[in-house]
Amino acid sequence: MNNKNLKILLEESQNDFKYQKIKSNLNITFNRISFIFFIFFIIFTVYSIHLIHLGSRNQNVKIEDKSKFISDNLYRADIVDRNGHYLSKTVSSIDIGISTAKVIDKKKLLINLKYIFPNKDYKKIKSKLENKKFFYFEKKISDENYEKIMRLGDQSIQPEERLTRIYPEKNLFSHIIGQIDSDNNGISGLEKSLDNVLKNSSKSIKLTVDKDIQFLIRDELIKFNEVFKTKGSAAVLMDVNNGEILSLVSLPDFDPNKRKRITDVNFINRVTKGVYEFGSVFKTFTLAAAFDQKIIEPQTKFLDLPKSITCAGFPIREYDEKNTVRFDC
């Protein structure tokens, strides 16, 4: 009897041992799951904060609500073509400055900056770090590089958000739109002639030009400039029914985004500032005026015309010495 009790106690002890072991496995498994869940929760939280930060930064300055920026000395109204495509636009951008007095480790800072911006001249940057109190390291920084440089956590890096002027079509409308200087003053084109309007208007300025037509005409001019080896060329396309300018191209042109001071007279707007002897071009205007006034008809003949006439002391002759003109339309 005692042996049986002993046996029963032994089995009970074994059962207790097994139970405890299984319970321990459950606890270990549960702890692992909790730990993994916690790690994923932290990652999710970090990325959520990152996305919220990006969203809030991009919405800090909304150009759509233009009225509150009119007081900003860098504000200018947008310029669009007849179809609403942006030719000139004011956007929010970030400039990265460096306060040299706050730099703790110049060598480390230069290494980190070179990793993000490998193409900069770091001899000049090193000189600025040693000789200036503050300088701009990168203007109009991209979102990607902004996040990279801010992750460095260097207190000497100072971002400044501001409004800036961009020209999405680059060279395409350069002679029409013109450009501004560093103080937001128009120095050529519509940026100059409409300077006060652009600084004080809350609405976009809509032009009659068409981006697609402008592109096609400019492309053709570039081709024939290469064929004839010209110094420049110009073209204007006008709607004869209402006088609207659909396209105005002058070559050579420039990229107003680069803010370069242009002193070469070859870059003038040849349509508005060029001086030409139009010659036979005006014959079409004379002929059109005669038709409009019903002075002549398409079948009208001019017989026995003089072989030359004198104008301002100079003779004007027909190149083929004929004295008969007929208009066949």
pLDDT of residue 276: 76
Range 117-146 average pLDDT: 93
DSSP state of 67: G
Contact of 186 with 145, CB cutoff 8 Å = no
Q: What is the pTM (predicted TM-score) of this model?
A: 0.61
pLDDT of residue 320: 66
pLDDT tens for each residue of 32-69:
777 777 787 888 787 777 666 555 554 443 434 455 55
pLDDT of residue 282: 81
Of 103-112, 148-157, 182-191, 255-264, the poorest mean pLDDT is in 255-264
pLDDT of residue 188: 93
Residue of higher predicted confidence among 207 and 319: 207
The CATH homologous superfamily for domain 86-168 is: Penicillin-binding protein 2a (Domain 2) (3.90.1310.10)
- Percent of the chain past pLDDT 90, that is, above it, reads 54
What's the mean per-residue pLDDT of the chain?
Answer: 83
Q: Three-class SS of residue 247? A: strand
Residues 146 and 163: their CA atoms lie apart, in Å, by 16
Of 47-51, 78-82, 288-292, 305-309, the poorest mean pLDDT is in 47-51
pLDDT tens for each residue of 186-239:
999 999 999 999 999 989 999 999 999 999 999 999 999 999 999 999 999 999
Of 20-29, 131-140, 169-178, 299-308, the poorest mean pLDDT is in 20-29
Residues 17 and 29: their CA atoms lie apart, in Å, by 19
Residue of higher predicted confidence among 164 and 329: 164
Task: Please determine, for residue 140, whether its predicted confidence score (pLDDT) is greater than 90.
Answer: no
What is the domain partition of the chain in residue ranges?
Answer: 1-59, 86-168, 171-276, 281-326
Cα 298 to Cα 30, 294, 304, 323: the distances in Å are: 99, 10, 18, 18
Residues 315 and 191: their CA atoms lie apart, in Å, by 45
pLDDT of residue 6: 46
pLDDT of residue 96: 95
Task: Please determine, for residue 245, whether its predicted confidence score (pLDDT) is greater than 50.
Answer: yes
Highest mean pLDDT among 181-185, 239-243, 302-306, 322-326: 239-243
* Residue given tokens 């993994």 in the structure block: 36
pLDDT tens for each residue of 96-116:
999 999 999 999 999 999 999
DSSP state of 302: E
pLDDT of residue 125: 95
pLDDT tens for each residue of 292-301:
999 999 888 8
DSSP state of 326: E
Residue 129: CB atoms within 10 A of its CB come to 18
Contact of 248 with 236, CB cutoff 8 Å = yes
Burial class (CB within 10 angstroms; exposed 0-12, middle 13-18, buried 19+) of 175 = buried
- DSSP annotation string for 173-211: GHHHH--B-TTS-B-SHHHHHTHHHHHH-SSPEEPS--H
Range 251-261 average pLDDT: 90
Highest mean pLDDT among 19-28, 52-61, 236-245: 236-245
Residue of higher predicted confidence among 327 and 137: 137
Task: Please determine, for residue 13, whether its predicted confidence score (pLDDT) is greater than 50.
Answer: no
